[in-house]
Structure 1
Amino acid sequence: MDELFSVSRPRREIAPGAVHVPDWLDPGEQRELVELCRDWARPPAPMRHTLLPGGGRMSVSTVCLGWHWSPYRYTRTAVDVDDAPVPPLPDRLVELGRRAVADAYDDPAAGGGYEPDTALINFYDRDARMGMHQDKDERVSAPIVSLSLGDACLFRFGNTESRGRPYTDVRLESGDLFVFGGPSRFAYHGVPVVYPDTGSSRCGLTAGRLNITLRSTGLA
């Protein structure tokens, strides 16, 4: 839903190494990424609901670029979908990742040294959730870059020791950037709520939320 009045949302460090930058993507960049995500979601190696080892199914739908993630490893083919080769990570996303790290940390050198090699793109419908978890299947501790498109959500950013408190709840809206690295790289985090019909029509996504996360696997 388009807002009649804009509300200032300042850049904020949520925890050491964890930074929220509201409205980082302009409307044109958001539309571009939404259209690209539609293309990336198609076969081969299409978007799917990931099956968990215990027999459950994730409520979000996921498609991968660069490396394919399935619990709890990375592969070059979509081993749990159609075994097709995973499309390469586009240069456009690498460039966005470097810019994101530089802007979040106000450190051009950190951005220039960021080498993402995979993207996990999650689609949340109004009922989808993401439980508290750590991103720890990578072999290096480079920052995670998260880009939000479409409906707003409540993003819960926790501590590195457990899924419980203390944690901080952050509302992420379309165009927002969230980067976490350094001492917060292995913090638990999740999405307990998506707010339906809160996205702007300007981004090109009429319903649901897309989340693009960029990361470095450390794999050859």
Structure 2
Amino acid sequence: MQTNPKDDIQGLIYRPEYFQRDAQKSLLEQIRAVVEQAPLFQPVMPKTGKPFSVKMSNCGPLGWVSDIDGYRYQPTHPVTRLPWPDMPDMLLDLWQELAPAAPAPEACLINFYEPGARMGLHQDRDERNFDAPVVSVSLGDTATFRVGGLKRKDPTKSFRLQSGDVVVLGGEARLAFHGIDRILKDTSTLLKNGGRINLTLRRVNPV
């Protein structure tokens, strides 16, 4: 594994071009099949109801949702009320390689970023298990990824994530604040109409 050369946060692992072009195409087709069963939905912020700038779906036993009542994991799609589709084997194999000591992932959050979409600094802390890492896959247009420390006001660093790149947040970096500053339009031809898909694998519950 190659640690991110642009960041010295312990536990952050950066694997550029983990998925080559053919593998990206294959994974994209599998994610499209997932979204056919579990359509993208527009989450909103708790309390305020302000819409996110990204659209979401999930696959796996659990899915992360956000609505007026708060953030949570649940076993069904918030619109269709149907169970989430199974997680593609390519993602399970990725988890097994990069997090072999961790129990199997229970959720894969699918975020679709259109040009102009972003994600503010946040921690992934809605899980009941912080021992397992968070594994993230980028598909499509390049994004500027920002990561900091365990406090929102800690210094941050940023670097670009291209299509096929993988990032792991584990160890001290498991609860690091991170976000997406911007999407660089027309930097990939993987998605016909542009944009970026981010796949985030998480373990939710203790064993």
If the length of structure 1 is used for normalisation, what is the TM-score? 0.83
80-89 or 149-158, larger mean C-alpha shift = 80-89
Q: 2:150 aligns with which of 160, 171, 175?
A: 160
Q: Partner amino acid for 1:27?
A: R
Structure 1 CA distance, aligned partners of 2:18 and 2:3? 10
**Matched residues in 2 for 1:204 and 1:193: separation?**
17
Does residue 51 (structure 1) correspond to residue 49 (structure 2)? The answer is no
Q: Does structure 2 retain, via aligned residues, the 8 Å contact 1:153–1:173?
A: yes
Aligned match of 1:87: 85
Q: Distance in 2 between matches of 1:216 and 1:50?
A: 21
Is 1:146 aligned to residue 144 of structure 2?
A: no
- Give the SS at the match of 1:36: helix
Gaps of 5+ in 2: none
User: Do the aligned partners of 1:31 and 1:204 also contact (CA within 8 Å) in 2?
Assistant: no
- Three-state SS of the structure 2 residue aligned to 1:41 is helix
Is the alpha carbon distance of 1:11 and 1:219 closer, same or farther for their aligned partners in structure 2, counting shifts above 3 Å?
A: closer
CA contact (8 A) 1:150 1:206 kept: no
Which position in structure 2 is the counterpart of 1:76?
A: 75
Does the Cα contact within 8 Å between 2:53 and 2:119 map onto a contact in 1?
A: yes
Give 1:127 shift: 1.2
Aligned length: 197
Q: Is the 8 A contact 2:64 2:107 kept in 1?
A: no
Return the letter of the residue paired with 1:55.
G
Question: 2:110 maps to which residue?
Answer: 121
For residues 219 and 59 of structure 1, do their structure 2 counterparts lie closer, same or farther at Cα, with a shift above 3 Å needed?
farther
What SS is found at the alignment partner of 2:43? strand
Letter in 1 for 2:75: R
CA distance in structure 2 between the partners assigned to 1:129 and 1:113 by the alignment: 30
Q: CA–CA distance in 2 between the matches of 1:154 and 1:117?
A: 27
Q: Secondary structure in 2 aligned to 1:48?
A: coil
CA RMSD, 1 decimal: 1.8
Deviation at 1:19, TM superposition (A): 1.3
Bigger drift between 123-132 and 203-212 goes to: 203-212
Q: Quickly say closer, same or farther: Cα 1:131–1:209, change in 2 above 3 A.
A: same
1:29 maps to a residue whose letter is A
Q: What are the residue-to-residue correspondences of 1:1-220 with 2, within 5 Å?
A: 12=4, 14=7, 15-43=9-37, 45-53=38-46, 54-66=48-60, 67-71=62-66, 72-78=71-77, 80-99=78-97, 101=98, 110-141=99-130, 142-162=132-152, 164-199=153-188, 201=189, 203=190, 205-218=192-205
CA contact (8 A) 1:65 1:87 kept: yes
Q: Percent identity?
A: 38
Deviates more, 1:29-38 or 1:88-97: 88-97
Structure 1 position 11, deviation (Å)? 5.1
1:22 Cα shift? Answer: 0.9
